[in-house]
Amino acid sequence: MTGQVTDVLVVGGGPAATWAALKAAEAGARVVLADKGYCGTSGATAAGGTGVWYVPPEPAAREAAMASREGLGGYLADRRWMARVLDETYHRMNELAAAGRYPFPTGPDGQPLRGGLQGPEYMRRMRIRIRRAGVRVLDHSPVTELLTDADGAVAGAAGYRRQAREPYRVRAGAVVLATGGCAFLSGALGTNTNTGDGALFAAEAGAELSGMEFSNAYGIAPEGTSVTKTAFYTFATFYQEDGSVLEGAASQGGRSAIARELLTGAKVYATLDRAGEQERAAMRLAQPNFFLTFDRLGIDPFTERFSVTLLAEGTVRGTGGIRITADDCSTGVPGLYAAGDAATREEICGGFTGGGSHNAAWAISSGSWAGAGAAGYARALGSDRAAHRTVTGAGGAGLRPTGAAGGAGGHRDAVALVQAQVLPYDKNYLRHGRVLADSLRVLDGAWAALRTSLHGEGADLVKARQAAAMTAHARWMYTAALARTESRGMARRLDHPGQDPKLHHRITVGGLDRPWSRAEVAA
């Protein structure tokens, strides 16, 4: 087993992870970044483009930006955090232009346009920046568990290096979890690494989660593809199989109409016929990968119909994740920090967000704060203590079965079971308390079974832990969804269609063998 010692270990490889690694290194820390894939190419951002919640420091513009989604998010966001993120994102995007030399386009007035990023170029430059800052990057090195010391503080992590085919261990003064959200291997673009690992690791170390009911995000994609660029469908007209317009599908809640139609076994078609020439050109420039499939098939999506589907994006586009307890994105567990989609985004989004914009700004900001916070914690701890304290693995399900270890390949059945409970529209999207409770009972049984016997070696250990993380994620989602007996933000309940003033609070969840929930009361 290979081993090393560092001040800060960052787990992940997307925007939040690279900003965390960069700011930790700039604070004087030795930094190791461990990515499940190849840092710079893995994850949802690297696979496409993204808008960014970038607003110049003008009072009227900032006020409008903060007010724009408060209602959609069920008034659960925090204005102080919104202002912090707007400030941090503004400075970091300008830094990306200057120090990162990102080629932002200019508008007709000659001013730079910094409200969006091309994912591949953005992440290519972030990889270059962290390498130049001295960060050691471990590619293709998924983490499988956190390490903790005798006092319960997080003290590093263990994992498996795919290419070297060997386990590894990193002792660290502090750890930043920036592993992304969980999309349950639904096939949505760039989410194959987003299996909820960080949430499982955090819970095993004693952290809590928040906003997990806001996890039923589904993106529109051309049937048979993975490209969920839902914003473009604001320019679409949707049709039933007989050619008639699908009523309600083009409205703000239109995905419900699409889901109901797809549940009948019928196809739904779309044409982006509401986009003018100027919008068409801008769309091709902003998201060229969206059009690759159409171009290869000889389809003009602006004039011809194409069939669409909905792909689950869970907490990648939802707002739930690890609960943060301070401005530096610490989690309440000593030595553990969370950033990006692995952390709750309720602070700035409440109960509603989308594919980019706020999420992208949160990744930049929370990553920067978590990296600096972790560096400060490690510095106060001291390198000598970090290197020599006794550590133990915190991992459980899929790693240390409580009974006889099962045979190889058990992770496949575990993944199939959880997907059967979270991917169908009539279970996770069009939610009803009775259906949620039934699914949760199935998932509880699945957890008990995998906790007893699921195990793997080498690369199969990584898959077993992913299966455990997805199962845990689904149970927290449905536990929170059952606790929110109303419709607020994206957490909609068919049996509770109205908003209940008594539930104007966040919901915290936790626990592994016995998930629990409680109302989060503001301090």
Q: First and final CA of the chain: distance in angstroms?
A: 45
pLDDT, tens digit, 9 for 90 and up, residues 217-260? 999 999 999 988 888 899 999 999 999 999 988 777 789 999 99
Helix, strand or coil for residue 127? helix
Residues 6+ apart with CB under 8 A from 316: 44, 180, 181, 182, 183, 188, 191, 194, 217, 341
Instruction: Please name the helix (run of DSSP H) or strand (run of DSSP E) that holds residue 87, with its range, or none.
Output: helix 79-98
**Secondary structure percentages of the chain, helix, strand, coil, to 5:** 40, 20, 40
Instruction: Please name the helix (run of DSSP H) or strand (run of DSSP E) that holds residue 516, with its range, or none.
Output: strand 516-520
What local confidence, expressed as pLDDT, does residue 193 receive? 95
Which carries the bigger pLDDT value, residue 442 or residue 290? 442
pLDDT, tens digit, 9 for 90 and up, residues 481-523? 999 999 999 999 999 999 999 999 999 999 999 999 999 865 4
- Owner of token pair 């496949």: 412
* Residue 1 pLDDT level (bands cut at 50, 70, 90): low
What local confidence, expressed as pLDDT, does residue 515 receive? 97
pLDDT, tens digit, 9 for 90 and up, residues 354-410? 767 999 999 999 999 999 999 999 999 998 888 899 999 999 999 999 998 888 889
Q: CA 242 from chain center: how many Å?
A: 37
Max intra-chain CA distance, the chain: 71
Tell me the β-bridge partners of 52: 357
What local confidence, expressed as pLDDT, does residue 132 receive? 98
Residues 6+ apart with CB under 8 A from 80: none
**Is residue 269 within 8 Å of residue 307, measured between CB atoms?**
yes
Helix, strand or coil for residue 471? helix
Average pLDDT over residues 149-159: 97
State the alpha helices, DSSP H only, in 336-432. Answer: 346-349, 358-381, 383-388, 410-422
What are the structure tokens assigned to 152, written together? 């319960």
Cα separation, 68 vs 313, whole angstroms = 23
What local confidence, expressed as pLDDT, does residue 394 receive? 97
* Residue 276 pLDDT level (bands cut at 50, 70, 90): very high
Average pLDDT over residues 198-224: 96
> Lowest-pLDDT range, 88-97, 262-271, 433-442, 513-522?
513-522
What local confidence, expressed as pLDDT, does residue 393 receive? 97
pLDDT, tens digit, 9 for 90 and up, residues 4-38? 999 999 999 999 999 999 999 999 999 999 999 99
Q: Is the pLDDT of residue 413 over 70?
A: yes
Residues 6+ apart with CB under 8 A from 391: 147, 148, 149, 155, 156, 171
> Lowest-pLDDT range, 148-162, 173-187, 290-304, 316-330?
290-304
Instruction: Please name the helix (run of DSSP H) or strand (run of DSSP E) that holds residue 160, with its range, or none.
Output: strand 154-161
Number of H helices, E strands in the chain: 15, 18
Residues 6+ apart with CB under 8 A from 266: 240, 241
Q: Is the pLDDT of residue 288 over 90?
A: no
pLDDT, tens digit, 9 for 90 and up, residues 30-82? 999 999 999 999 999 998 888 899 999 999 999 999 998 899 999 999 999 99
Cα separation, 69 vs 417, whole angstroms = 35
**Is residue 204 within 8 Å of residue 394, measured between CB atoms?**
yes
Cα separation, 128 vs 124, whole angstroms = 6
Please report, as a single letter, which amino acid is at residue 259. Answer: A
What local confidence, expressed as pLDDT, does residue 523 receive? 44
- Write down the pTM of the prediction: 0.96
Instruction: Please name the helix (run of DSSP H) or strand (run of DSSP E) that holds residue 312, with its range, or none.
Output: strand 306-312
Average pLDDT over residues 96-119: 89
**Is residue 37 within 8 Å of residue 44, measured between CB atoms?**
no
pLDDT, tens digit, 9 for 90 and up, residues 293-332? 899 989 999 999 999 999 999 999 999 999 999 999 999 9
Cα separation, 36 vs 472, whole angstroms = 19
Helix, strand or coil for residue 173? strand
What are the structure tokens assigned to 370, written together? 């978590």
What are the structure tokens assigned to 173, written together? 């003064």
* Residue 136 pLDDT level (bands cut at 50, 70, 90): very high
Please report, as a single letter, which amino acid is at residue 510. Answer: G
- Owner of token pair 């972790």: 374
